[in-house]
């Protein structure tokens, strides 16, 4: 099973490759990998194996089930096929499957799986570099030339248009349909794999110098890919990770040598970005590239108008007119009751994240990437096109649920009283000889 899980992490970034058409829409590599893995898990394990994850995430799962039921009902009411809720139900199952395997890896129930998960980032970065290289060769893209033009003009739009949109064309998407926004989830998959790798490595540290060199190289490569992505949501979520690590160091009063080393590496990377001119491209992307902000503001105004006209039952098609907001788009599709269920989901996730941050100083070091991992799903709830939880975020939330189930298992073990030791044979003989105690 460890090879299957690593294969999924390798497939997660390859989202511009369309395998074929399905009744639920286009079947892309990462979607088919997720669903095939989910089916294998549910066929292999009984319901009892999923109990720890379902128990620790009951409010989240129940709220999602309620949302799906409401979405199906309003779809039929509005004369629409329930393909959307069926697809999201499959991803909810994937959340449970991935959570179960993360939990089983942590408790040692799956031989070699925890060790294998340390290489999730390596698989994801290698697959993305290979996939992008192949796509750029096929489409005649010169990445160095594009990068030089972007730096010379400090224009991130050149990087997005000429590199990503061009590279993603021709593998199931034509030039009119392909969107540079695919990159948000493509590079989000790399960040997700990095979270999993660090979590696994902290639970079961690497033992050889060669392993540490390869592991660190994969993490550096992943970080470079995140910077090149120009995805604001992904970069903001990634920045939460070192900030949370620094917060924990302040609260515990312990700063590890690894953290000091990472700080020097980050400083060196920042200096290199400034010297090369790439820092100016990132700065413009965050401060001056406001076209997407303006477009989303217009979409929000349109969403408010449509909600007023379809307040109770929804039925509004969000494709091409998404507000990029999970609650508002759910309201458009499923009406006010669906929006209430979506609001519960958001409150549960933000509440969990806030509570974990509040006690980060008391959490073990391996919980830091778990806490940081919630930053990406929370960010995508208010930025993802279509107003849905994307497939990558379901996988990432499954990782968090599995790690949380293991954390609760450890807490329960700590509270259980230690069993009294069995008396030695000589002590038992003396007790028998003494007979029953007299009052």
Task: Spell out the per-residue pLDDT of the chain, length 439, in tens.
Answer: 889 999 999 999 999 888 877 766 678 899 999 999 999 999 999 999 999 999 999 999 999 999 999 999 999 999 898 988 999 999 999 999 999 999 999 999 998 999 999 999 999 999 999 999 999 998 888 888 887 887 777 677 777 777 777 888 888 776 655 654 678 889 999 999 999 999 999 999 998 999 999 999 999 999 989 988 878 889 889 999 999 998 898 888 776 656 555 565 666 665 665 565 656 666 566 666 666 666 677 778 888 888 888 888 888 887 767 788 899 999 999 999 999 999 999 999 999 999 999 999 999 999 999 999 999 999 888 887 677 899 999 999 999 999 999 999 998 887 766 555 555 555 544 444 444 443 3
Q: What is the reported pTM? A: 0.88
The answer to whether the CB of 285 falls within 8 A of the CB of 230 is yes
Q: How much is the pLDDT for 276?
A: 58
Q: Is 422 left (phi over 0), alpha (psi -120 to 50) or beta?
A: beta
Report the helix count and the strand count for the chain, using DSSP H and E: 21, 2
The answer to whether the CB of 294 falls within 8 A of the CB of 164 is no
Q: How much is the pLDDT for 350?
A: 95
Q: Which residue is listed with tokens 């499959």?
A: 90
Q: How much is the pLDDT for 303?
A: 81
The answer to whether the CB of 159 falls within 8 A of the CB of 147 is yes
Gap between the Cα atoms of 329 and 317, Å rounded: 9
Q: Give me the half-sphere count of Cα atoms (radius 13 Å) on the Cβ side of residue 177.
A: 9
> Which residues are 26's β-sheet partners?
21
Q: How much is the pLDDT for 273?
A: 59
Gap between the Cα atoms of 428 and 358, Å rounded: 51
Gap between the Cα atoms of 110 and 382, Å rounded: 36
Q: How much is the pLDDT for 412?
A: 85
């Amino acid at each position: 099973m460890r090879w299957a899980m690593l294969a999924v992490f390798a497939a997660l970034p390859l989202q511009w490759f369309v395998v074929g058409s399905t009744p639920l829409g286009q079947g892309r590599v990462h979607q088919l990998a997720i669903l095939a893995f989910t089916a294998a898990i549910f066929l292999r394990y009984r319901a009892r194996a999923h109990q720890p994850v379902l128990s620790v995430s009951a409010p989240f799962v129940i709220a999602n089930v309620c949302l799906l039921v409401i979405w199906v009902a309003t779809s039929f009411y509005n004369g629409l096929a329930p393909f959307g809720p069926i697809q999201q139900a499959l991803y909810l199952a994937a959340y449970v499957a991935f959570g179960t395997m993360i939990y089983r890896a942590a408790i040692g129930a799956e031989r070699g799986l925890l060790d294998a998960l340390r290489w999730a980032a390596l698989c994801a970065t290698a697959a993305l570099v290979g996939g992008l290289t192949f796509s750029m060769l096929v489409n005649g893209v010169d990445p160095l030339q594009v990068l030089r033009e972007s730096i010379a003009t400090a224009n991130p739009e050149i990087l997005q248009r000429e590199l990503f949109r061009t590279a993603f064309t021709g593998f199931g998407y034509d030039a009119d349909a392909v969107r540079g926004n695919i990159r948000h989830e493509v590079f989000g998959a790399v960040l997700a794999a990095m979270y999993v790798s660090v979590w696994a490595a902290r639970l079961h540290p690497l033992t050889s110098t060669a392993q540490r060199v390869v592991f660190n190289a994969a993490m550096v490569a992943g970080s470079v890919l995140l910077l090149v992505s120009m995805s604001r949501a992904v970069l903001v979520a990634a920045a939460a990770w070192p900030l949370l690590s620094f917060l924990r160091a302040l609260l515990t009063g312990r700063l590890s040598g690894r953290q000091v080393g990472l700080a020097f590496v980050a400083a060196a990377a920042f200096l290199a970005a400034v010297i090369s001119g790439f820092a100016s491209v990132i700065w413009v992307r965050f401060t001056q590239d406001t076209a997407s902000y303006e477009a989303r503001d217009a979409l929000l105004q349109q969403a408010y108008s449509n909600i007023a006209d379809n307040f109770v039952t929804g039925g509004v098609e969000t494709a091409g007119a998404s507000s990029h907001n999970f609650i508002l788009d759910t309201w458009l599709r499923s009406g006010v009751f669906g929006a209430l269920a979506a609001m519960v989901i958001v409150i549960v996730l933000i509440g969990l994240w806030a509570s974990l941050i509040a006690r980060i100083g008391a959490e073990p070091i391996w919980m830091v990437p778990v806490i940081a991992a919630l930053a990406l799903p929370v960010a995508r709830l208010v930025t993802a096109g279509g107003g849905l939880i994307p497939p990558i975020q379901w996988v990432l939330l499954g990782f968090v649920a599995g790690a949380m189930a293991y954390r609760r298992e450890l807490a329960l073990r700590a509270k259980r009283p230690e069993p009294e030791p069995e008396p030695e044979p000589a002590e038992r003989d003396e007790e028998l000889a003494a007979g029953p105690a007299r009052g």
